Structures are given as C-alpha cells and as structure tokens.
Structure 1
Amino acid sequence: MVERNDPDQGVDAQGGGVQSVDRALQILDILARVGDAGVSEIAEEMGVHKSTVSRLVGSLVGRELVRQNSERGKYQLGFGILRLASSIPGRLSVVREASDVLESLAARYKETVNLAVLRSNYAVNVDQAMGPSTLATYDWVGSLTPLHATSSGKVLLAALPVDERDTILKTVGLPARTPRTVKNRAQLEKQLLEISRQGYAIVREEFEIGLSAVAVPICNHLGNVIAAVSISGPAFRFTPEEDPGLIEGLRAAGLSISAKMGYRPR
C-alpha cells in the first residue's frame, strides 16, 4: 500500500526496490554507529521522510535485524544480525583473502612478501609470495620469528594491550639476533609507539644481517590487528625508508586485505 504523504514511495517502486534496500542498509549502518536512535533522528540523518524510515524499520523489525527498546522507544540492532554473521565461515581465512594481494606486491616490488600472525609469542609466517629476484629464494612459511626483531613482529606487538605485551616480553625476553637487534625494553616501547602512530614498521638487519623489511597491519571487522604483511629484501638494495611510494603501496595493500576481512576505516 502506497502512503500518499510519503514523497519517496513512488521513487522506491520505480527503482524496483533498490533504493529501499540501500536505505535499509543505511539504517543498519546508523544503528551500528550510534547504538540506538528514533525514527525522527534516523530520518533527519538520512534526509528522508519519517514515514519512509518507519516503513523500512518495520520491515527490519520483522526480520529481527532491528528491535525496539521497550523502555526508550528507540531502535537498535537485533539478534538477526548475529544470525547472519554466524553464516559466514567461522573465521575468514586471512591467508585466502590475502593471497592475490601478496602476489601483486611481489610482482610490483620484485621482493619477497610475507603474511604473519601472532602465535605462541612469536610472529608466524603463514603465506609468502616470492619476487622475481634470484636472491629471494628462502621459504619463510611456517617460520617462527621474534616479535621484537622483525617488522611484522613489531607491528603485531604495537597493536597489543600493554599488559599482554608485557607478559609476552617477560616470557621470551629480548634476545639479540644481530648487533642491530633492540635489546632495551624502553627503546622498544618507544619504537612501538612510533609504529602505532605512523602505521608501519621498518627493520634493518635486526633479525638477520643483510636483510631489511617493512610491514603494515591487517585489521578485522572490529578494527583489531590480526596479521601483518611485510616486504623484505637484501639491505644493500632494499631501503623502504627512502621509498615513500613503496610504503604507501604496502599500506594500501594492507587496507585492501583488511577490507576483505570486513574492516571499514572510521
């Protein structure tokens, strides 16, 4: 039934419902962002008639995607959202989602690209794409690397709550892998603050003499860092700190993988 005082209803019908779907999704986005809202508030933010919002909210309530708070009369996301979310595979595979991006990075920058996650107090490389260089021949997949001496490890460390980071570092310590490895906790914490601020980590011969690397974080739908993607190469030719284009390209790749994992920048 068409509501005569709803100026948007005819447009919705002509659009085959596409506009209604888009607006319903806008309502879900608003409720996800603000927690709860009334029809008037939603309509004002969307710039549409209140009757349009009321009709769409009614449909979302019927699907249990939205529910009304009986005390305040405002609407909030419903348990149907959880039902839909649970239909996604228990955990999106960051390895699967990142694979094409890793290959693209390796082809573009002609160096070795690794994907690492935090496991048992170490950075574990779970996937790798090899650059065309004849020097890039080592298979890092499955390797456990120290968090404090690698670019991926520092990215993962920087994202941890202070108490969790403290527990890990007290357990594993700061063993020196090379003369360049950071061995002082205060110095490491200073580096981690800078990494959090700038959004990437660079190491130069801290894990292995002759090897430099740069890494950026990968986030999930909650904004939590779940992995890191890095590019590494021989220190004599690979100097990411002198190549802003490479760092920006890697950051864009990290955001691309994050988007596949459901991340949306605020």
Structure 2
Amino acid sequence: MVADRSPDALPAGLTDPESSSSRGGVQSVDRAITVLEILARTGGAGVSEIADEMGVHKSTASRLLSALDARDMAQQDHERGKYQLGFGILRLASSIPGRLNVAAEARPFLHALADKFQETVNLAVLRSNFAVNVDQAMGPSALATSDWMGSLTPVHATSSGKILLASLDTAERGQILKESGQPALTESTVTSRPALEKQLIAAAANGFATSYSELEIGLNAVAVPVRDHRGVTIAAISISGPAFRFDPKAIPGLLEELKQTGEQVSEKLGYRRR
C-alpha cells in the first residue's frame, strides 16, 4: 500500500536540504536565545539546570553554551561551574548610537562627581531586563570598592535599576519584573512587588532612587535619570559607596548635585524642562 503524498512531496528517503537547513538553523537560534533568557532571568545557571528547563539533553545545552561562550555572549564562572551573561551582550548594547552619545556626553560629569564626592559614579542603561553599567568614574576613596564597568545588575535591587523602572509604564515594568523576578540578594532586597512599586512611585516624584545594602551587604547607592530630547529616561547616573561612610541622604549637597548633573547631561542630549 502506497502512503498518500501531497503533489509537492519529495520521493521517499529524500529531504529538502534547504528546508531542513532552515528549520535546523531557526531551531538553533531559538534555543540560543532561550539560553540567554534563562541566564538573564537567573543570573547564572549550570548545564544541567539549562538542559532541564529547556527539555533538551545535557550535551545539547553544553554545545549551545560553548557556542555562546565562543562569541563572548556567555561566560563560565570556573569556581561555581555556572554560566552567566558575557560582555558580548554589553558590546551589542554599546553599539547603539544613542547610548554611545549618552556615555560621551556624561563622561566629564561622571568624573566631576567622582572627584567631588570621592566615590564610584556609574552610568547605566536598561538592556535585557538588567541595568547595564556602560561607563564609570572612580574617586580616590573608591579604590577599594568593586569595578562595576560592564556589570549587568538586577533592576529591582539597584538605584539605577529603580530609576529606569520608574520611567516605564505599568505594562512594561510588569513584563520586566515578571521575566527577571525579584530574588533576594541580601536581607535588605525588596522582594515584594507592592513594596517596590511604592519605591518607584517615590523615585518618579522625587527625582532619585536609593539602594541600601539591597545588592550587596554594606553597599549603598543613589541614582537619578538622564533624559533625551523627547523627555524619555534613557539612562541613570548613580553614586555608590560603602555603607559605613556613604549615606546619600546624609551627605550635604549630594542629592542636589546629583540631580543637577542628571539635568545637565539631559540638556546636552537636547532635553528641555517644560
């Protein structure tokens, strides 16, 4: 008995190379993107975890991670054996002309703040549900603190992330938080959505957001928005330092200076307050 075939079907035993190749290529791309999304959501995952979540064999997950690693889209923490997003993601983000202009215009202001307050100053943009630090200036007292350049930091636990979230509408914000979650990074991390929303409303009203030991124990930070010519928040400028010496609300003139800097950089980008 001969099986039914459509008029366009190929003879038994033969396949369409172009069609098979296309399907295989699309599947590979889809799987690679899924791996990146898992790494973005979890902050780091092992081969077995990724294989289980995707429903594929460990060897498949391993091949995908190796390919992403080769392109610097993922990197392995050899101490923990887990993978996390690589700096190649940052390079893709930095290739966007608008963001490059922000970094160029903001750089002298970042250094001025770092020199005056002697702490670490960062410029961050929103990318792949993270606050990505694309430029940094470090004051004399900041030498012992972390180098945040290129870091992908969680939006719910950082001052920059909160400022960037506060500028979004409810639907956009909800989608990002749904995908990224609000994992507890320290005992002070805000893991409640209503509590975070309350902070975001305050940030939008006051023009700044703070983080007190929410990302790392003993690390405080404050951030303000940077707006483009349309008035859209496209970046955040933050100052951070160790809690024993850095309380942004207690340092005379810091909040005013930081907000003024955000406005000055925004004006460089064509923003005019109405």
Which TM-score tier does this pair reach, normalised by the shorter chain?
Answer: 0.5 to 0.7
Among candidates 221, 224, 231, match of residue 223 of structure 1: 231
Off by >2 Å, runs of 4+ in structure 1: 89-92, 134-138
Is the contact between residue 145 and residue 241 of structure 2 (CA under 8 Å) also seen in structure 1? no
Per the alignment, residue 22 of structure 1 pairs with: none
The one-letter code of the counterpart of 1:99 is R
Is the contact between residue 111 and residue 136 of structure 1 (CA under 8 Å) also seen in structure 2? no
Q: CA deviation at 1:137?
A: 4.1
Superposed, 1:157-196 pairs within 5 Å as 157-196=165-204
Q: CA deviation at 1:125?
A: 0.1
Per the alignment, residue 199 of structure 1 pairs with: 207
> C-alpha separation between the residues in 2 aligned to 1:136 and 1:257?
28
Per the alignment, residue 114 of structure 1 pairs with: 122
Identity %: 60
The one-letter code of the counterpart of 1:201 is A
Is the contact between residue 112 and residue 136 of structure 1 (CA under 8 Å) also seen in structure 2? no
Superposed, 1:39-118 pairs within 5 Å as 91=98, 93-118=101-126
Per the alignment, residue 49 of structure 1 pairs with: none
> C-alpha separation between the residues in 2 aligned to 1:243 and 1:107?
15
The one-letter code of the counterpart of 2:185 is R
Per the alignment, residue 251 of structure 1 pairs with: 259
Per the alignment, residue 153 of structure 2 pairs with: 145
1:40-70 Cα shifts (integer Å, max 9, x gaps): xxxxxxxxxxxxxxxxxxxxxxxxxxxxxxx
**Aligned in 2, Cα 1:187/1:100: closer, same or farther, shift over 3 Å?**
same
Q: CA deviation at 1:90?
A: 5.7
> C-alpha separation between the residues in 1 aligned to 2:207 and 2:144?
26
> C-alpha separation between the residues in 2 aligned to 1:240 and 1:131?
15
Partner secondary structure for residue 205 of structure 2: helix
1:234 matched to 2:247? The reply is: no
Unpaired segments ≥5 residues, structure 1: 1-88
Q: Which has the larger radius of gyration?
A: 1
The one-letter code of the counterpart of 2:102 is V
> C-alpha separation between the residues in 2 aligned to 1:140 and 1:160?
24
Per the alignment, residue 263 of structure 1 pairs with: 271
> C-alpha separation between the residues in 2 aligned to 1:134 and 1:189?
31
1:210-252 Cα shifts (integer Å, max 9, x gaps): 1000000000000000000000000011011113510000001
Is the contact between residue 182 and residue 188 of structure 1 (CA under 8 Å) also seen in structure 2? yes
CA RMSD of aligned residues (A): 1.4
Among candidates 203, 218, 223, match of residue 210 of structure 1: 218
> C-alpha separation between the residues in 2 aligned to 1:218 and 1:205?
24
**Aligned in 2, Cα 1:134/1:201: closer, same or farther, shift over 3 Å?**
closer
Task: Report the TM-score, using the length of structure 1 for normalisation.
Answer: 0.65
> C-alpha separation between the residues in 1 aligned to 2:245 and 2:238?
16
Which stretch of the first structure deviates more once superposed, 244-253 or 148-157? 244-253
**Aligned in 2, Cα 1:122/1:157: closer, same or farther, shift over 3 Å?**
same
> C-alpha separation between the residues in 2 aligned to 1:209 and 1:260?
35
Partner secondary structure for residue 138 of structure 1: coil
Is the contact between residue 215 and residue 231 of structure 1 (CA under 8 Å) also seen in structure 2? yes
> C-alpha separation between the residues in 2 aligned to 1:90 and 1:242?
37
1:124-143 Cα shifts (integer Å, max 9, x gaps): 00000001015444221110
1:103-151 Cα shifts (integer Å, max 9, x gaps): 0000000000000000000000000000101544422111000000000
Is the contact between residue 136 and residue 233 of structure 1 (CA under 8 Å) also seen in structure 2? no
The one-letter code of the counterpart of 1:250 is L
